[in-house]
A and B are shown apart, each in its own frame.
Chain A
Amino acid sequence: MAPVSWLFAAQPRARVAALRTVAYLFVPVDVLLTTAWVADHADVPGTLYQPLYVGRLLDLPAPGPVSVRVAMVLLVVAAAVAATGRSPRLLGGAVAVLYAWWMVVAMSYGKVDHDRFAFLVLLAVLPTAGPARPGDRTADEASGWVLRCVQLAVVATYLLAAVAKFRFGGLEWATGATLSRAILRRGSFLADPLLDVPWLLVAMQWGIIAFELLSPLLLVGGRVTRWFVLFLFAFHLASFAGIGIIFLPHLVALLAFLPLERVAPAVARAVRDRAGWANWSIRGIRLRSGS
């Protein structure tokens, strides 16, 4: 039963609490700011609606001006309240369902994005952890399973991206001109000069295949995981600089590999030290002015 105990390896509840706060705070950012185009689908003619399987299976109506706006308000409010940790199962469940529908609105108009598989898994599993307070260092299996699921979804995103390249692009995908195409279509001033160095773009394509196939190393833990996560953040930032694409929801899910429970206490300590220093200096000033 080793794989099962690995799936449930206990993790601190505080880590889930921290990830939950980030995830639910990210939802309003995503909806209102970084993928604000989703809401514009409300007014796109219904004739351009190209339902996903899930839309046809559940017989979902085409998004309209009213349904999209109501869902948007409910989603943003539910996520903002859920970020406080209140009613984690009820509110978390509501956020997961509303966000899933939001994605139907996003992806049903002829273009599907692949930057949020792991984030959807994260929203789906978070409510199962139940109450988790930020300071609670107790490790339990429910938290362990939540984090493991998100980690597996992150690895799947990379590993299956390599598989898809073999399926659609063939084994010779890496020798093609896919990055030339990406830069021709969306290149920034930083990436455009690369068009004159096609061999470098081919080398980058080999590099992409390599790190996607190596992504299961993320699950090793320790220094290997930390360096891999750091590399992935750099990769996604470089993609953003080069072709304006960033997998933000995926990057939130990527945090599931890090000891997030240490962040809040470290910040609190820093604030306390500063406050202590400020008190001390204020006292110092008082003492001097009083003397």
Chain B
Amino acid sequence: MLTTGGRRARVVATLAVAALTLLGTRYSEDEAFPFGPMSMFAFRTEPDGRVDVASLRGIVAGSPQEVEISPATFGLRRAEVEGSMGRMAKDPTLLGELVRAREAIRPDLPRVDYLRIVQTNYLLENGQQKGFRQATVAEWRR
């Protein structure tokens, strides 16, 4: 059996977490983690709208061709690149800092001399892909 105090403390804690979670769901955004809204796939994509995907492309030492480079080699997930893309567009030197991070995280990988963020827009019609376009969001050269 729990003591009266132990019971009371648990009830208060339960109600406090429930209240924070409900408030976060209604009023806040992801930055209220872990009390923010459970917004996984919560945004509606228009069936005639578009789907954006960011990718990193660059030129690495020893290869003249531009290649796709995994965000993971920079210590980021793709969604994190997308979440920071606005800043990188304003300040492309951030891409240079990412390249330095990659040198710390994966020293075994070839040096990156040129890096750009490419945004691909897939165009939808009735929920089906009907073409795409691409644009460079930010670029950096060593």
Binding site for B on A (CB under 8 A): 4, 7-8, 37, 40-45, 47-48, 50-54, 65, 103, 107, 109-117, 120-121, 128, 140-142, 145, 149, 152, 156-157, 160-161, 163-165, 167-170, 172-173, 175-182, 184-185, 195-196, 198, 201-202
Contacts and interface: CB of A to CB of B under 8 A. Distances in A.
A207 B56 CA distance: 35
Contacts of A42: 75
A111 B79 contact: yes
Contact of A112 (B6, B18, B31, B87): B31
Given A48-B84, A50-B83, A160-B25, A43 B38 contact: no
Interface in B1-54: 1-2, 6-7, 10-11, 14, 17-18, 21, 25-26, 28, 30-34, 36-47, 49, 51, 53
B137 to A, nearest CB: 14
In terms of DSSP, what is the predominant structure of the interface of chain A? helix
A45 B97 contact: yes
Nearest to B26: A167
Interface residues of B, number: 58
A218 B102 CA distance: 45
Given A8-B2, A111-B79, A185-B53, A168 B42 contact: yes
B141 interface: no
Central interface residue in B1, B38, B45, B49, by most chain A CB within 10 Å: B38
Contacts of A7: 10-11, 14
